[in-house]
Structure 1
Amino acid sequence: MSEKILVVDDEKEIADLIEVYLQNENLNVYKFYSGTEALAHMESVDFDLAILDIMLPDISGLSICQIMREKGCACPIIMLTAKDEETDKITGLMLGADDYITKPFRPLELVARVKAQLRRYKKYNTVSAAPATETILEYAGLTMNIKTYECLLNGESLSLTPTEFAILRVLLERKGSVVSAEDLFHEIWQDEYYNKSNNTITVHIRHLREKMKDTGGNPKYIKTIWGVGYKIEDI
């Protein structure tokens, strides 16, 4: 791998530790101890993934995440959060982050999350050279092309992150079946670091519904089966 990874954390020991582990995976690490310095380099480097600490002394990781998404950056973003800051985790996901890891974290867990995000991002941005064999998933005005990674709702393009696209794809492929949050997590992230308090899937589902303008009490597309999971009906 030679992907370019942005790491922003004002705690030097943590930033340096992340750098060592990612460099061991042959990743190119661009490390910064302040948000201002990181933002200045974003104009000249196209990053493949960003790891942002939320609590920075100058500009928060949440603000950096928002700025990146507003500028059209689609690369995966992983937020580093304090142990009990549940609001920050949810806010980060709502602003366009793909995942979060709570401090203190296991370095190998971070590496696993990074590699899973990079695999999906690379797949998301690779367009097949054989459009004649495109695979199309359709449901009630929703059309997903899983080879060109395009998604339309009633003829209008949906701007989805790789994570949102992957979640919607799984639900469409399993149309008519309930998929638990745990199964979705393992399907998307392809690792074992899931626990019942992890609300990553819940927030991404909420964001998907907002983009699809389907946030009412009885959603047309992604339905919640309380205590079980999520499903798209088979019609």
Structure 2
Amino acid sequence: MPRRVLVIEDDPDIGRLVTLQLAELDCECRLMTDGVSGLAEGEAGHYDLVILDLMLPRMDGLQICRRLRALPHYTPILMLTAKSSELDRVLGLELGADDYLTKPFSMLELAARVKAVFRRADLQQATAERAQQAQQPIEAGGLRIDLQRHEALLDGRRLDLTAKEFELLAYFARSPGRVHTRAQLLDQVWGYSHSGYEHTVNSHINRLRNKIERDPGNPDYIQTVWGVGYRFAER
């Protein structure tokens, strides 16, 4: 879908050129020519990017940047300015601008900066979504692993797991079907990979099986892959 961009720029020529360039990038643009109306639009609308001039009538860009950063949702801000001093750049970035472009600038440079802002925003969103998904409860048969509450239930009954047993179970359950060697489990769950400690993995898995398996001798969840390691059964 097209990206929505709010341009707050009082120079009509620059505003026209910026919106034309953004249209080439498949963006839908709204142009505001003074600070007060620009802030009102930025607070009321949902935009993927705000391109903000520093020197504006009625309210300057630094004030607008500060106000936009106080909102609960995050919108990337690319600041435009005729001022080139280091102090102005640092102040704009400290107030929350994502990037800074000094006039005069080429439209090719503007396009490159806009694309870079969009790439960073997409990466941040994808990272946040992965983190959120990683905290979702995992369910496998009658087993439920609640990562946020740090508890596991079997058929609705809370299991009495130690902290390391829970970490081991959660690590297995995040990648069902994948085979893990004892050395990999030591490295990922315990944080070290000394081969002499592989018996630690065996003892923890045996205790974990006694707590989660209906028949520990014939496990449904944590299965042995002979000569390799262990895996969590696919469901």
TM-score interval, normalised by the smaller of the two chains = 0.5 to 0.7
**Greater RCO, 1 or 2 (C-alpha within 8 Å, sep 6+):** 1
* Cα distance between partner residues in 2 of 1:84 and 1:13: 20
Q: Which has the higher helix share?
A: 2
2:35 counterpart of 1:35 = yes
Superposed, 1:101-112 pairs within 5 Å as 101-112=101-112
CA deviations over 1:2-46 (Å, ceiling 9, x no partner)? 111111111010011000000111101111111111122234311
- Show the counterpart of 2:82: 82
- Show the counterpart of 1:96: 96
Following TM superposition, where does structure 1 have runs of at least 4 consecutive aligned residues deviating by more than 6 angstroms? none
Q: What is the number of equivalent residue pairs in this alignment?
A: 133
User: Which shifted more, 62-71 or 41-50?
Assistant: 41-50
Q: State the AA in 1 paired with 2:134.
A: P
Give percent identity, aligned residues only: 42
State the Cα distance separating 1:69 from its structure 2 match.
0.4
Q: State the AA in 1 paired with 2:112.
A: A
- Show the counterpart of 1:131: 134
TM superposition score normalised by structure 2: 0.53
Q: State the AA in 2 paired with 1:61.
A: G
Which of 1 and 2 has greater Rg?
2
* Cα distance between partner residues in 1 of 2:67 and 2:133: 35
- Show the counterpart of 1:17: 17
* Cα distance between partner residues in 2 of 1:130 and 1:70: 27
| Closer, same or farther: CA 81–5 of 1 in aligned 2, 3 Å | same
Q: Tell me, which stretches of 5 or more residues in structure 2 are unaligned?
A: 136-235
- Show the counterpart of 2:46: 46
User: Which shifted more, 116-125 or 47-56?
Assistant: 116-125
Q: State the AA in 1 paired with 2:32.
A: F
Superposed CA RMSD in Å reads 1.9
State the Cα distance separating 1:99 from its structure 2 match.
0.8
* Cα distance between partner residues in 2 of 1:94 and 1:44: 24
Tell whether the 8 Å contact from 1:83 to 1:104 is kept in structure 2 after alignment: no
TM superposition score normalised by structure 1: 0.53
